[in-house]
Amino acid sequence: MSSTVMERLPANSATRGTLSAGRRIITSPKYAPVLVTLGLFIAMFVSGGVRYDNFWSPQVLLNLFVDNAYLIVLAVGMTFVILTGGIDLSVGSVIALSAMICAKLLEAGVPAAGVIAVTLIATSLLGLGMGLMIHVFKVQPFIATLAGMFLARGLCYVISEASISINDPFFVSMASTRIPLGGSASITISVIIALLVVAVAFYVLHYSRFGRTVYALGGSEQSGTLMGLPVGRTKVLVYVVSGLCSGISGVLYSFYTLSGYSLTAVGTELDAIAAVVIGGTLLTGGYGFVLGSALGVLVLGLIQTMISYEGTLSSWWTRIFIGGLLLVFIVLQKVLTRRRD
Amino acid sequence: MTQVLSPADAVVDMVGVTMEFPGVMALDGVDFRMYPGEVHSLMGENGAGKSTLIKVLTGVYTATAGDMHLAGSKVSFSTPAQAQDAGISTVYQEVNLLPNLSVAENIMLGREPRRFGSLDWHAMRRRAAELLEGLNLDIDPGSLLGSHSIAIQQLVAIARAVDVNATVLILDEPTSSLDTDEVAELFRVIRTLKEQGCAILFVSHFLDQVYEIADRLTILRNGRLVGEYRTEEILKIDLVQKMIGKEMASFSELEQRHRESEEEIAGTGIPFLEAKGLGRRGAIRPVDFSIDEGEVVGLAGLLGSGRTEIARLLGGIDRADSGTSEVNGKAVKLTSPRKALSKRIAFASEDRRGEGIVGDLSVRDNIALALQIERGWYRPISPKRVTELAQHYIDALNIRPADPHALVRNLSGGNQQKVLLARWLAVAPRLLILDEPTRGIDIGAKAEIQKLVFNLAENGMSVLYISAELEEVLRLSHRVGVMRDRHMVSMVENDSLSVEDLLALIAEGSEDEDEKDVVA
Amino acid sequence: MSAQLRNFTGSRVFWPVVILVGLIIVDVIAFPGFLDITVKEGHLFGAPIDILRNGAPTLLIAVGMTLVIATRGIDLSVGSIAAISGAVVSALLLNSPTPDNPWTVVQAVGIALILGFILGVWNGTLVAYLKIQPIIATLILMTAGRGVAMLITEGQILTLHSKPFEWFGSGFIAGFPVAVVIAAVVLILTMLVVRRSALGMFIESVGINPEASRQAGIRSRGLLLGIYAFCALLAALAGLIITSDQTAADANNTGLFIELDAILAVVIGGTSLMGGRFSLIGTLVGVLVIQTLVTTVYIVGIPPVATMVFKAIVVIAVSLLQSPTTNEKFANWRKDRRRPTPTKAIEPTREKVSA
């Protein structure tokens, strides 16, 4: 009797065929969105190459990384926060703040290593403050990180209204050094740093208890607590992580722009959120991958590249396309999660 | 096979447990024992003290008085974590796992195997597979928990509990969402655990299942121990009787009136609502139901038997998967509360906190809500009229505090119930569905409400009356439908039915057992 | 303490009013003529008037935002809608042969407002019918909307030369700036409609307990659609005022961050982001606090760049003060200091008992 019952049970066991396993992966809310993004990326890249000359060069692909290295790091930090079901609106302003701190300290003659260290500590502390507001005082993440955004942007203005340029040799070298990858292709050091951040984030999310607790928070905070996971601590830490990533992103950004300017990176948090959503992370939390978010950044970059290749389209079509893409992905996520029940 | 076990063999031994809250004695000197390798069922209706006892056992509460011994040594838990560490694991009705993580993670998280500081996925999956195999479960450890049915998720929760070295496993309403095959699988796992020496507490409202799986029963009523019995030694009807017991207040006047009215035609004989084959997958098997104008139909049965489910379908709160309905002879689709209200069918939910009160609004706003919605937002009822309306019901139902402007969330549960009742009375429905309207209300008010229902019926309103208190149901109903295990076992005329008759019907039901076992 | 006073100190709008009064006091100390209002050619001038005028667009948006938040939603797209509205009106006026004709202006304004309304219907459809989370649904329009506005202005900043249109930004009605009158009228009308009709109660009911509201018969989808459309309409109106005031349509900067100020004003005013009871008066106080703060910073001589920092401090202060954790600690502290007042009904423990 037991054998008939067992057969009846949903056999999600590995003994079933790979075909149905494949189908399951494609429709699961965990993997499906990322796969769609990947498919989209490939489709866009292919169509770009068909439509424009000189599109299918490796450098075009690599430039996606070069131009968006900072955004990749930012999206990684944002992924942590969104996985727990929260949000961080401060990241754009924190980028500006980090670049500004770097520029100001370098101007004062502080050595590069110290400058970077101070910046990262400062942004992490800001993240800690927001995390504590959210966990201890039960302030909504939206409001707490909004306050963070105002604070960071305000501090930017206070430090310097005008733009400060960076002449420090280390920073300059980071900006201009290209690492050749054979042929005429090359990347910057920022790309390496960004990829390193992604790798570390991947490891943490999938191979540490902290990472699993991050996912648990997004699944069900109550269940996580009942299972004995350190839910409170993790909630605060994700905002520290986001702050740290924003700091790193700011440093990379300052490599890119070689200046600190208080009006920069306005609205970049939206780009990060869009990248994360397009990358397959559900805004309700619990599902998503940093690899997906990185892919999301590349998709956004690709849109921009294609628009500039198109030539006739004005650059603000970018925002419209991103908005449209967001809509498509959100509807897709809705459809998939409804199937899950 | 049945060894005589003495209290000394008990793995859980609770003696004289008392749990007191301000103004309420939830448990009064209860003794409770669990033995290794046995399935024990805790039985009792609402307010009996079941969940309180479990909370004391699992460390959510600390008992006001009494002792607890675990495997011979005295224990006292102040946090759930302590109970868990001592080997008591609970699997809740809501499963309380993480649907977005894999089966293996759900089993192992919190005690994950590590290698060089990082999670060892291989070992995790292996250990999970071992555990699942030990329970003879064919579930892929790498699969997403949320991709499985509730039944499977529950089994995973049990596997987790087992791995935490549970000597005592508490299953709280594990079968509420399972179909017959899934229940059979669960029972197989339970029996495996029994053989491994685990003591299992099986809490469920499904009598048939309790009789199938439990070795021993403890019955609680009103916070007191009624008795502990071996399952084979007590008849179902006696069990039900001990669970429900007798009410203290006398309602002779009402009974008198009822007897008098019975001499006249029950109801007007004009059908108001007729439903055929109304059912909803996972909630209730197809049911035929009809009610005349001025008729009171009662629904009796234990908690979880499907009374609320059928009422929700009739009230448009849930959508039916199957069946048809007719109001006054015309076909209707009761697909939303608004539709039902437009047909003058009002539904008073038993879940007053979640589905009834709008806590931050005042008493008068809560009372006027449905009526106002009917009129539309652009035709506000004048504030004077609203206050009059509210005052009328405050007086009629004795709502305390008698302040129309008090926020409903500050009222006691009983008074909140009265506010909700007032809301539905205010729309003057033709069919009023009352789900547990007197739960949590004092005796005097209970009588008032029942008198009210009686009057309403005499004036032509149809009433569907659900209550766990069988006396109430008998006092008011012209006909009584008996529910058990999610289907209607019989519908009888209330021809001088006694409580015993009703109990018998609930326990054994009609012999329509040849109806197909439709998978719910 | 009289009951009314106790009501006030216990209400959520208490601290914001205290902060507002505090800011005004600081202003008066720093600039004794702060509260002076002069009359020139029948028009009122002065710092308080400036505060009102500068806060008018924010108030318009905050009024709509209050209702949206009360239903447990949020609308991030209002800034973009304001930008689109300004862009549309400017493009229409610039391409019209008769920009000084009042009728042309009326038509242009009308079209911009209708467009705003339609965008609101779009938001409402995503939220109410497709059941998308409001923050995401409105994020889409927020992102794409600026692009659309840029498209309309073709990336340029369009300067306007239409006398009748400039009236919105620089005209006066009965001595008060037009913008202030419009905002006041909208606020009062909205208050009348939601409080005099049953609409306010429906909105609160849906926000407090959506399921109970559903069972009582509320058709929440239509309600939500209307709320989002209304909010967008007001955003479009605000955009017109901003554009008129600057006599230019700047798609990039019109209404930039105004959604944040609006949300802040609503929260400061005591309406919870979790939805439910709302207070339009509270929102008014919230807008005044923000606007006065900006002015105070300027008057006291702090470089205006520090404004954001002060905004941050106010947000943090208000959210900490309104936090349930703080209220718990405060209530416990009060309990220890005086005799225990009659506590709430036994309700909570009853819930624990039910099996």
Q: Which residues in chain C are contacts of B372 at CB distance < 8 A?
A: 198, 201-202
Q: Which residues in chain B are contacts of A200 at CB distance < 8 A?
A: none
Residue B496 near residue B263 (C-beta atoms within 8 A) = no
Asked if C355 lies within 8 A of B373 by C-beta distance, the reply is no
Instruction: Give the pLDDT score at C9.
Output: 64
Cα–Cα distance, A99 to A252 (Å, whole number): 9
Residue type, C330: F
B498 in helix, strand or coil?
A: coil
Cα–Cα distance, C225 to A297 (Å, whole number): 33
Cα–Cα distance, B234 to B228 (Å, whole number): 10
Q: What is the pLDDT of residues A211-231, one digit of tens each?
A: 999 999 999 888 888 787 888
C313 in helix, strand or coil?
A: helix
How high is the mean pLDDT of chain A?
86
Buried b (16+ CB within 10 A) or exposed e, A329-338: bbeebbebbe
Tokens linked to B394: 């405050």
Q: Which residues in chain A are contacts of C319 at CB distance < 8 A?
A: 133, 137, 139, 143-144, 147
* Residue C350 or residue C281, greater confidence: C281
Torsion of CA A144, A149, A154, A157, to 10 degrees: 170
| Residue A10 pLDDT greater than 50, yes or no | no
Closest-approach residue (CA) in chain C for A148: C312
Asked if B337 lies within 8 A of C217 by C-beta distance, the reply is yes
Tokens linked to B323: 């069946």
Q: How far is CA C45 from CA B170, B199, C48, C167, in A?
A: 74, 82, 8, 16
Cα–Cα distance, A146 to A165 (Å, whole number): 28
Closest-approach residue (CA) in chain C for A328: C140
Residue B43 near residue B231 (C-beta atoms within 8 A) = no
Residue B69 near residue B90 (C-beta atoms within 8 A) = no
Residue B277 near residue B324 (C-beta atoms within 8 A) = yes
Q: How many CB atoms lie within 10 A of CB B111?
A: 14
Phi-psi region of C311 (alpha: psi -120 to 50; beta: other; left: phi over 0): alpha
Query: Which chains are within 8 Å of C by 3+ CB pairs?
Result: A, B
Peptide bond between residue B401 and the one before it cis (omega within 30 degrees of 0): yes
Residue B226 near residue B53 (C-beta atoms within 8 A) = no
Asked if C308 lies within 8 A of A157 by C-beta distance, the reply is yes
Asked if A219 lies within 8 A of B139 by C-beta distance, the reply is no
Asked if C140 lies within 8 A of A327 by C-beta distance, the reply is yes
Q: Which residues in chain C are contacts of A133 at CB distance < 8 A?
A: 316, 319-320
Asked if B81 lies within 8 A of A228 by C-beta distance, the reply is yes
Of B320, B329, B315, nearest to B424 by C-alpha is: B315
Q: Mean pLDDT, to the nearest integer, of C162-168?
A: 82
The string of DSSP letters for B464-485 reads EEE-S-HHHHHHH-SEEEEEET
Asked if A220 lies within 8 A of B110 by C-beta distance, the reply is no
Which candidate in A90, A94, A136, A137 is best for mutational testing of the C interface (most C CBs within 10 A)?
A137
Residue B200 near residue B11 (C-beta atoms within 8 A) = no
The partner residue sitting opposite B50, judged by closest CB among C199, C219, C355, is C355
| Residue A151 pLDDT greater than 50, yes or no | yes
Of C328, C292, C325, C314, nearest to C49 by C-alpha is: C292
Residue A73 near residue A222 (C-beta atoms within 8 A) = no
Q: What is the pLDDT of residues B369-388, one digit of tens each?
A: 999 999 888 888 888 999 99
Q: Which residues in chain C are contacts of B341 at CB distance < 8 A?
A: 217
Angle at the Cα of A194 from the Cα atoms of A193 and A199, rounded to 5 degrees? 95
Helix pair C199-208, C47-70: axis angle to 10 deg: 60
- Tell me which residue has tokens 């959120």: A273
- Tell me which residue has tokens 């401060």: A90
B6 in helix, strand or coil?
A: coil
B433 in helix, strand or coil?
A: strand
User: Residue C300: phi, psi to the nearest 5?
Assistant: -70, -15
Portion 44-103 of B in contact with C at CB < 8 A: 44-52, 55
Q: Where are the domains of chain B?
A: 7-244, 351-428
Asked if A317 lies within 8 A of C151 by C-beta distance, the reply is yes
Chain A CB within 8 Å of residue C307 CB: yes
Portion 139-198 of C in contact with B at CB < 8 A: 196-198
Asked if A330 lies within 8 A of C140 by C-beta distance, the reply is yes
Which residues lie closer than 8 Å to B67 by C-beta, 6 or more apart? B13, B14, B15, B16, B17, B74
| Residue B157 pLDDT greater than 70, yes or no | yes
Residue type, A281: T
Instruction: Give the pLDDT score at C229.
Output: 97
Distance of CA B76 to the CA centre of its chain: 30
3-state secondary structure A236-283: HHHHHHHHHHHHHHHHHHHHHHCEECCCCCCCHHHHHHHHHHHCCCCC
Instruction: Give the pLDDT score at A29.
Output: 66
Of C198, C221, C171, nearest to C44 by C-alpha is: C171
How high is the mean pLDDT of chain B?
84
Q: What is the pLDDT of residues C240-249, one digit of tens each?
A: 999 988 888 8
Q: How many CB atoms lie within 10 A of CB B356?
A: 25
3-state secondary structure B54-96: HHHHCCCCCCCEEEEEECCEECCCCCHHHHHHCCEEEECCCCC
Of the candidate ranges A68-72, A175-179, B340-344, C143-147, the one whose mean pLDDT is the lowest: A175-179
Tokens linked to B507: 């326990």
Kind of pairing between the strands at B199-203 and B39-43: parallel
Which residues lie closer than 8 Å to B435 by C-beta, 6 or more apart? B307, B308, B311, B347, B348, B349, B350, B466
Instruction: Give the pLDDT score at B257.
Output: 56
Asked if A227 lies within 8 A of B142 by C-beta distance, the reply is no
Asked if B376 lies within 8 A of C198 by C-beta distance, the reply is yes
Q: Report the topology of domain B7-244.
A: Rossmann fold (3.40.50)
Confidence of residue B265 (pLDDT cuts 50, 70, 90): very low
How high is the mean pLDDT of chain C?
84
B289 in helix, strand or coil?
A: strand
Chain A CB within 8 Å of residue C321 CB: no
Of C350, C126, C352, C90, nearest to C232 by C-alpha is: C126
Portion 335-394 of B in contact with C at CB < 8 A: 336-338, 341, 347, 349, 353-361, 365, 369-370, 372-381
Q: How many CB atoms lie within 10 A of CB A172?
A: 13
Of B19, B475, B25, nearest to B247 by C-alpha is: B475
Confidence of residue A115 (pLDDT cuts 50, 70, 90): very high
Instruction: Give the pLDDT score at B179.
Output: 74
Q: In angstroms, what separates the C-alpha of B446 from chain C's closest C-alpha?
A: 18
DSSP letter assigned to residue B49 = S
The partner residue sitting opposite C143, judged by closest CB among A139, A147, A274, is A274
Q: What is the pLDDT of residues B391-412, one digit of tens each?
A: 999 988 888 888 899 899 888 7
Portion 276-305 of C in contact with B at CB < 8 A: 276-277
Q: Mean pLDDT, to the nearest integer, of B107-127?
A: 86
Distance of CA C227 to the CA centre of its chain: 14
Kind of pairing between the strands at B224-230 and B216-221: antiparallel
Chain A CB within 8 Å of residue C52 CB: no
- For chain C, the farthest-separated pair of C-alpha atoms sits apart, in whole angstroms, at 77
Tokens linked to B18: 């008392």
- Tell me which residue has tokens 């949590």: B440
- Say how many Å lie between the first and final Cα of chain A, rounded: 29
Asked if B146 lies within 8 A of A218 by C-beta distance, the reply is no
Asked if B98 lies within 8 A of A2 by C-beta distance, the reply is no
Cα–Cα distance, B88 to C327 (Å, whole number): 36
Cα–Cα distance, C32 to C50 (Å, whole number): 16
B463 in helix, strand or coil?
A: strand
Cα–Cα distance, C25 to C38 (Å, whole number): 20
Which domains are delineated in chain C?
29-328 (1.10.3470)
For chain C, give the percent of residues with pLDDT over 90. 36
| Residue A179 pLDDT greater than 90, yes or no | no
Q: Mean pLDDT, to the nearest integer, of C191-210?
A: 92
Q: What is the pLDDT of residues B316-347, one digit of tens each?
A: 999 998 999 999 888 999 999 999 999 999 99
Q: Where are the domains of chain A?
A: 33-340
- Tell me which residue has tokens 């790193």: A248
Instruction: Give the pLDDT score at B246.
Output: 52
Q: What are the CB-based long-range contacts (under 8 Å, 24+) for B47-50?
A: B47/B222, B47/B223, B47/C353, B47/C354, B47/C355, B48/B220, B48/B221, B48/B222, B48/B223, B48/B243, B48/C355, B49/B19, B49/B220, B49/B222, B49/B223, B49/B224, B49/C353, B49/C355, B50/B203, B50/B220, B50/C355
Portion 419-438 of B in contact with C at CB < 8 A: 423
Cα–Cα distance, C13 to C10 (Å, whole number): 8
Q: How many CB atoms lie within 10 A of CB B204?
A: 22
Q: Which residues in chain C are contacts of A323 at CB distance < 8 A?
A: 140-145, 147
Instruction: Please identify, in words, the CATH class of the domain defined by A33-340.
Output: mainly alpha
Distance of CA B166 to the CA centre of its chain: 27
Residues in chain A: 341
Residue A193 near residue A201 (C-beta atoms within 8 A) = no
